[in-house]
Structure 1
Amino acid sequence: MPWHQRLPLTVTLTVVALLHVAGAIALALFLSRWLPVWTAGGVAFAAAIPSLVWALRRIIAPAQSLFRALAGTVTSYRDGDYSFSLSWQGRGTLRELVDAHNELGDTLRAQRQSLVQRELLLDTMVQNTPVAMLLIDPSGRIVHANIAARKTFGGGRRLEGQLFATLLAGAPSSMAEAFAAGGDGMFSVGDGDAEDIYHLSRRRFRLNARHHELVLLREMTTDLRRQEVQTWKKVIRVISHELNNSLAPIASLAHSGAELLRRGQLERLPEALTTIEERARHLESFIRGYARFAKLPAPRRDPVQLLTFIDQLASQVPFEIEGHVDPGAIAHFDAGQVEQALLNLLRNAHESGTAPGSVRLAVRRTADGWRLDVLDRGAGMNEAVLGNALLPFYSTKRNGTGLGLALAREIAEAHGGRIALLNRPDGGLCVSLVLPLA
Structure 2
Amino acid sequence: MVALVLFGVAATAACTALLAGWLAPWQAALAAAAMVGAAMGIAVWRTFVPLRALFRALAGTVAGYRDGDFSFGITWDRYGDLVELVDAHNELGQALRDQRLSLVQRELLLDTMVQNTPVAMLLLDPSRRVVLGNIAARRMLGDGRRLEGHALDELLDAAPAAVGEAFARGGDGMFTVGDEDHEDIYHLARRMFRLNGRRHELVLLRQMTAELRRQEVQTWKKVIRVISHELNNSLAPIASLAHSGAELLRRGQYEKLPIALATIEERARHLEGFLRDYARFAKLPSPRTEPMRLPQFVEKLRTQMDFAIDGTVPDEVARFDPAQLEQALLNLIKNAHESGTAPGTVSLAVRRIADGWRIDVLDRGSGMNESVLENALLPFYSTKRSGTGLGLALAREIAEAHGGRIALLNRDGGGLCVSVVLPRQTDNG
C-alpha separation between the residues in 1 aligned to 2:365 and 2:220? Answer: 35
Correspondence 1:57-206 to 2 at 5 A: 57-206=45-194
| CA-based RMSD | 4.3
Q: Is the 8 A contact 2:173 2:410 kept in 1?
A: no
Note the C-alpha offset of 1:93.
3.5
- Structure 1 residues 177 and 393, CA gap change in structure 2 (3 angstroms): closer
Q: Is the 8 A contact 1:289 1:403 kept in 2?
A: no
Partner of 1:216: 204
C-alpha separation between the residues in 2 aligned to 1:18 and 1:291? Answer: 113
Correspondence 1:393-408 to 2 at 5 A: 404=385, 406=387
Unaligned runs of 5+ in 2: 283-301, 309-332, 341-363, 367-377, 393-408, 417-429
The code of the aligned residue for 2:3 comes to: V
Partner of 1:21: 9
C-alpha separation between the residues in 1 aligned to 2:195 and 2:12? Answer: 69
C-alpha separation between the residues in 2 aligned to 1:148 and 1:237? Answer: 39
Note the C-alpha offset of 1:62.
2.7
Q: Is the 8 A contact 2:234 2:267 kept in 1?
A: yes
Q: Give the 3-state SS of the residue equivalent to 2:181 in structure 1.
A: helix
Q: Give the 3-state SS of the residue equivalent to 2:35 in structure 1.
A: helix
Deviates more, 1:193-202 or 1:104-113: 104-113
Partner of 1:347: none
Q: Is the 8 A contact 1:134 1:143 kept in 2?
A: yes
C-alpha separation between the residues in 2 aligned to 1:414 and 1:59? Answer: 75
The code of the aligned residue for 2:230 comes to: E
Q: Is the 8 A contact 2:191 2:203 kept in 1?
A: yes
Q: Percent identity?
A: 62
Q: Give the 3-state SS of the residue equivalent to 2:193 in structure 1.
A: strand
Q: Give the 3-state SS of the residue equivalent to 1:134 in structure 2.
A: strand
Q: Is the 8 A contact 2:115 2:134 kept in 1?
A: yes
C-alpha separation between the residues in 2 aligned to 1:402 and 1:135? Answer: 34
C-alpha separation between the residues in 1 aligned to 2:307 and 2:16? Answer: 114
CA shift digits 1:159-180 (9 cap, x unpaired): 1122221111111111111111
Q: Give the 3-state SS of the residue equivalent to 1:193 in structure 2.
A: coil
- Structure 1 residues 25 and 227, CA gap change in structure 2 (3 angstroms): same
The code of the aligned residue for 2:32 comes to: A
Q: Give the 3-state SS of the residue equivalent to 2:205 in structure 1.
A: strand
Partner of 1:374: none
Correspondence 1:379-418 to 2 at 5 A: 404=385, 406=387
Note the C-alpha offset of 1:91.
4.7
- Structure 1 residues 139 and 338, CA gap change in structure 2 (3 angstroms): closer
Q: Is the 8 A contact 1:133 1:146 kept in 2?
A: yes
Is residue 232 of structure 1 aligned with residue 220 of structure 2?
yes
Note the C-alpha offset of 1:417.
6.8
Higher relative CO (Cα under 8 Å, sequence separation at least 6) belongs to 2
The TM-score normalised by the length of structure 2 is 0.63
Is residue 300 of structure 1 aligned with residue 303 of structure 2?
no
Partner of 2:19: 31
C-alpha separation between the residues in 2 aligned to 1:263 and 1:18? Answer: 141
Correspondence 1:275-286 to 2 at 5 A: 275-283=263-271, 286=274
The code of the aligned residue for 2:217 comes to: V
Note the C-alpha offset of 1:35.
2.4
The code of the aligned residue for 2:36 comes to: A
CA shift digits 1:382-413 (9 cap, x unpaired): xxxxxxxxx9979xxxxxx99526579x99x9
C-alpha separation between the residues in 1 aligned to 2:200 and 2:50? Answer: 52
Q: Is the 8 A contact 2:339 2:365 kept in 1?
A: no
Partner of 2:325: none
The code of the aligned residue for 2:156 comes to: L
- Structure 1 residues 238 and 402, CA gap change in structure 2 (3 angstroms): farther
- Structure 1 residues 180 and 284, CA gap change in structure 2 (3 angstroms): same
Partner of 1:207: 195
C-alpha separation between the residues in 1 aligned to 2:85 and 2:268? Answer: 94
Aligned residues: 321
